[in-house]
Each structure stands twice: as C-alpha cells, then as structure tokens.
Amino acid sequence: MKQQRASVFASGTGSNFDVMMQDEDIANSIVLLVCDKPGAAVIEKAESLGVPTLVLDPKIYSSKQEYEKVIYEKLQSLEVDWIFLAGYMRLIGETLLSQYEGRIINIHPSILPSFPGKDAIGQAFRAGVSKTGVTIHYVDEGMDTGPIIAQEEIEMIPGETEEQLKTRIQAVEHRLYPNVMKQLMQNVTEEL
C-alpha cells in the first residue's frame, strides 16, 4: 500500500504547519513545504524539521502559469498526491487545479460562505455576528468557494477582543485540520 505524499503551501508563520508536524502520521507524509514569501517564518520551521522547501517569489515570474509550472514540476518529482493549504495567501490557478483536482484542500477561519478571502476573522468580528468558526474545503478556481469537507462553529463571546477570537479559532483549526487530513489520505490509501 503506497503511503500518500503531501505538500503544505504556506505564506506566514506556519501555526497549522507546526501542528501537522506534531502528528507523526502526517509528518511522515509531508515531503515539501511551498512558500510564496521569502523570509516567512514557516520556512525556518520546515528547515529545522528537515522538511524540504520550495520558496518562490511570484513577482519574478511573467505569469501565474509560469510560477505554478515550477511548483508542479517539483511536486511531480516528489510524487506528491495532496496539496494542503495552510495560510497560503494566493489563489490556485489552472496549472495546479487541473493536475490536482479534488486533491487541493484549504482551511479558512470562518463558516463559509460567510467572510471569504483575507482577514476573515476581522471581517466576522467587525460584523458582530453571533457565530463564526472554521471551514475545511476543496479548492476550486474561486476564492474559498470549493465544496465543503468539514465545518465547526464557535460562539462569539461578548466583550472578547479580535485577538482572543483569533486564538480560539486557531485552537479549532489545529484540532480539525489534522483529523481531516488523516481521513482524506487514509481513505485514498484504503481504496488503492
């Protein structure tokens, strides 16, 4: 039975990446970190854990297609089965979508379809909604529009700060995402 191989795409500090790497089953499947922000904290974390990195500045490429072609070639060379987005702040384009259809997963800090895009926690906080939460979904060509895999709501607490809300949402992310990742990869392995 072939073990599933995964790449994590991240742009920032890598708090979800940290949690993934603490789970032995997931850590053993992660063969590459892709980062679009040279100097992002997640790069150093990956390197310290022995995870190979591919760091590309999209601005040096003439098109999204050219940028993603470099990523795709690296993913193919490592026989990557899954792409897990963890704070990757770029829309995935046709080059990767066509090759990894149904195998690119994103985590988003709101109950989609509410508050897609950047600063979802801030959007929900400023809107004064009674609930928000976390969504894990398949990636399609839209911004946070792909089919939903899992969601978990949390109640807003009157008087809490945006930072406190962010901490509570991250706690849900850090529990939910690894569980979904393992289920997806295990289901595929069992089908082989």
Per-residue confidence in pLDDT tens, the chain, 192 aa: 578 999 999 999 999 999 999 999 999 999 999 999 999 999 999 999 999 999 999 999 999 999 999 999 999 999 999 999 999 989 999 999 999 999 999 999 999 999 999 999 999 999 999 999 999 999 999 999 999 999 999 999 999 999 999 999 999 999 999 999 999 998 765 554
Going by C-beta distance under 8 Å and a sequence separation of 6 or more, which residues neighbour residue 4? 29, 81, 82, 185, 188, 189
State the pTM of this model: 0.94
The CATH architecture assigned to 6-187 reads 3-Layer(aba) Sandwich (3.40)
Whole-Å CA distances, 98 to 34, 52, 69, 73, 153: 18, 24, 12, 14, 31
**Which of these is catalytic: 37, 45, 103, 108?**
108
Type of residue at 161: T
Copy the structure tokens of residue 9.
């795409």
108 is annotated as an active-site residue: yes
